[in-house]
Structure 1
Amino acid sequence: MTSERAGVRLAVDVGDARVGLAASDPDALLATPVMTLRRDKNQGSDLRMITRIIQDRDCKVVYVGLPLSLSGVETPSTQKAREFARALVEYCSAELHHVQVRLIDERLSTVSASEKMRASGVESRNQRAAIDQAAAVEILTHALDIRAAQGAEPGTLVIHNSA
């Protein structure tokens, strides 16, 4: 076991209207909410902000939630998440060569986040502002648990398309 720190991990919950972010501590043990961004499909301000957060926090890995159906089948949302992850790789490739972007199964992350918020006393109508961050925390916690159990980064690496 090395004494080197694992490095900060960031999780991204991609939705049609918003993007939720959560980050780990430098030891990659604990996930905490960061912020919710408005999706900006035309101008890319959401991607630029995420890139800035990656740089400011010196993130090593970014997990983008991959919303599969309960049976594991891809949905239109799955394709949107893949496209978002590829765009993020493109934004990161110029300056942040050390960052890995990985797609990770996020089935039920929003449902689980909503249930936990409701259990802590947050009413459904008041969840909207925080649900995307909470879902990102669920994605990151899941990824960190897999990483700790397997000793390797979970998910599928998204490769920069240099063609």
Structure 2
Amino acid sequence: MRVLALDYGSARCGCAVSDPTGTLATPIDHIERPGTRKGLVRVADLAREREVERIVVGLPLGLSGHDTDQTRETRAWADKLRERVKPIPVELYDERFTTAIASRSGDTRTSEDSRAAAVLLEDWLALHGGTTGGDIA
């Protein structure tokens, strides 16, 4: 199953996609200003172009596990995305520490946001092993 992972931020949305077997995660170009109408359309187009069967959006919970302002903004954006990409399922997944891990990779070919999305996707794929998974929302 091909999965698209998104590391949402109001300025940029990092993107990563799995291979068709759901084994490997590859960072791809980020999307500028995903919260705008144009940005949201671009994310939806990307999902269709890549023929993904599931979208995983990183949920930036606070270190305590509670919602923050960014968590609430991400949940609201994911709700808009769900409407835009139906019937592709959109799942929220804890992204704590993905940016810190991605920043240590040293890879400069893709944005740090997309590398964080790849870390998120690798974690999600390891946990779900190609299954459809659930939603922590």
Normalized against structure 1, the TM-score is what? 0.77
Equivalent in the alignment of 1:54: 47
Residue 39 of structure 1: CA displacement? 1.1
Pick from 7, 10, 28: which aligns with 1:13?
7
Where do 1:32-71 residues align within 5 Å? Answer: 32-42=26-36, 44-71=37-64
Provide the rounded CA distance (Å) in 2 between the counterparts of 1:77 and 1:115: 23
Structure 2 letter corresponding to 1:102: E
Computed over aligned residues only, the root mean square deviation of the Cα atoms, in angstroms, reads 1.9
1:109 partnered with 2:112 = no
1:25 partnered with 2:19 = yes
Residue 157 of structure 1: CA displacement? 7.0
Cα displacement string for residues 84-142 of structure 1 (whole angstroms, at most 9, x for unaligned residues): 1101011112xxx2x1100000001101101222xx6x6xxxx9x61100010011011
1:138 partnered with 2:119 = yes
Residue 35 of structure 1: CA displacement? 1.1
Structure 2 letter corresponding to 1:28: G
Residue 154 of structure 1: CA displacement? 3.6
Q: RCO higher in 1 or 2 (8 Å CA, sep ≥ 6)?
A: 2
The 1:24/1:92 distance shift into structure 2, 3 A limit, reads: same
Residue 57 of structure 1: CA displacement? 1.4
Residue 49 of structure 1: CA displacement? 1.1
Pick from 72, 88, 92: which aligns with 2:85?
92
Identity percentage over the alignment?
A: 34
Residue 40 of structure 1: CA displacement? 4.5
Equivalent in the alignment of 1:153: 132
Provide the rounded CA distance (Å) in 2 between the counterparts of 1:28 and 1:72: 27
Provide the rounded CA distance (Å) in 2 between the counterparts of 1:155 and 1:137: 19
Q: Which has the larger radius of gyration?
A: 1
Give the aligned length: 137
